[in-house]
Amino acid sequence: MFYLGEYDDETAKEIKSYLDKAGLKVETRSCLVMEDETTYTIKDNLSAFKELIEDSAQFERYLSALKSVLPQATTENFEDLFLKELDPLMMEKRDKILALSENPESLSPEEGEALKFGSEEWMNNALSISRARTFSDMVIALNDIKIGEPIENKLDDPVLEITVDPDDYENRPEKMKCDIDFYLEKAVNIFVDEFTTPLAIDLNDEFWDEYPSEAQRLKVLGLLIEKLATSPTSRKMDFAEFAEECSMTLKDEGSVLNVDGEDVAEELARVLEKSGVVKWKGDKLKWKSNN
């Protein structure tokens, strides 16, 4: 069987439906898979980070904004105050855009035009806001700060926990910690009977649009199987010659596709034998009929 790939349950059902309609023989096998995510962090006071990372200046900028807004902040207005302290012009634009969406006549056409963002500017702004929010949440949680209550000296040299890349350090920092999270998930493996892959030519355009890689692989394998199933003039072939035949070059809409199956010649021969196309004995293959 040809291994097509590993998918979630819904995707596997959809792919199988397409292949079934085209006449390909399909098997699915459920299994458990485990994904892992490794995170390295350092937890220490801000003063220690100044010697460990290059962008500690950004942390100090965030910290300065926190010091400025926390004394007058409430849980309801803290985020707005914090973000406006960091970038007042950007947040002013945001407020005007919100007002414009609620009342299109609140700004003149010229003012509305000035608020337009490019996609890259929107993305950079979203990332900047996300980093700032993450930092403020982390500082408040790690330093036992309660919004609306006096912060005393908790922000003089606060505790931070920063995600780092261990490859950035020649000597591993003493307080670096490694967390590994494992996630178990259900997956479905799809296998296709190789001898039915020539039917991939009947896969509809929607499958090609949704799953171009799968469609291409099935088409290419189908063409190779079709070539190998076609008997030579003598209807006989040495296995070494057959192995050479397990490769081909295809030209497809200006592209050149090279298919190399020589290393799996034995498996391909078994596919043909199981399907009743050839008889394989010793070092000889004999095609049972002209195809």
DSSP-assigned letters across all residues of 43-107:
EEEHHHHTTT-TTHHHHHHHHHHHHHHGGG--TTTHHHHHHHHH-HHHHHHHHHHHHHHH-TTSS
The residue ranking higher by pLDDT, 135 or 113, is 135
> Is pLDDT of 96 > 80?
no
Domain assignment present for residue 76? The answer is: yes
Residue 5, domain member (yes or no): no
CB atoms within 10 A of CB 117: 13
Do residues 53 and 161 make contact, with C-beta atoms less than 8 angstroms apart?
Answer: no
**Among candidates 271, 269, 274, which has minimal Cα distance to 284?**
269
pLDDT per position as a tens digit, 51-76: 777 767 888 888 999 999 999 999 99
User: What is the span of the domain harbouring residue 256?
Assistant: 231-291
What average pLDDT is seen over the chain? 87
Residue 32 lies in a domain: no
Given a cut of 80, whether residue 13 has pLDDT beyond it is yes
Judge contact between 26 and 200, C-beta under 8 A: no
Rounded to a whole number of angstroms, the distance between the first and last alpha carbons of the chain is 22
Residue 101 included in any domain: yes
pTM for the predicted model, two decimal places: 0.66
Cβ distance 66 to 221 under 8 Å?
no
Which residues make Cβ contacts (< 8 Å) with residue 86, sequence separation at least 6?
61, 62, 65, 132
pLDDT at residue 257, rounded to an integer: 85
* pLDDT value of position 105: 62
User: What is the distance, to the nearest Å, from the Cα of residue 77 to the centroid of all Cα atoms in its chain?
Assistant: 36
Number of domains, the chain: 2
Q: What per-residue confidence (pLDDT) applies to 288?
A: 87
Q: Sheet containing 278-281: give its strands across.
A: 236-238, 284-287, 278-281
Residue that is last in its domain, among 101, 131, 157: 157
Q: Which amino acid is at 198?
A: P
Predicted local confidence at residue 112, as pLDDT:
58
CA distance 111 to 103: 13
pLDDT band at 11 (very low <50, low <70, confident <90, very high): very high
More confident residue, 265 or 94: 265
**Regarding predicted confidence, which is higher, 54 or 178?**
178
Q: How many residues does the chain have?
A: 291
Q: What is the pLDDT of residues 240-272, one digit of tens each?
A: 999 999 999 988 777 888 999 999 999 999 999
Which amino acid is located at 77 in the chain?
N
pLDDT band at 88; cut points 50, 70, 90: confident
* Domain membership flag for residue 35: no
- Residue 244 in tokens: 């050479």
Last residue within a domain, chosen from 129, 157, 185: 157
CA angle 258, 264, 269 (to 5 degrees): 110
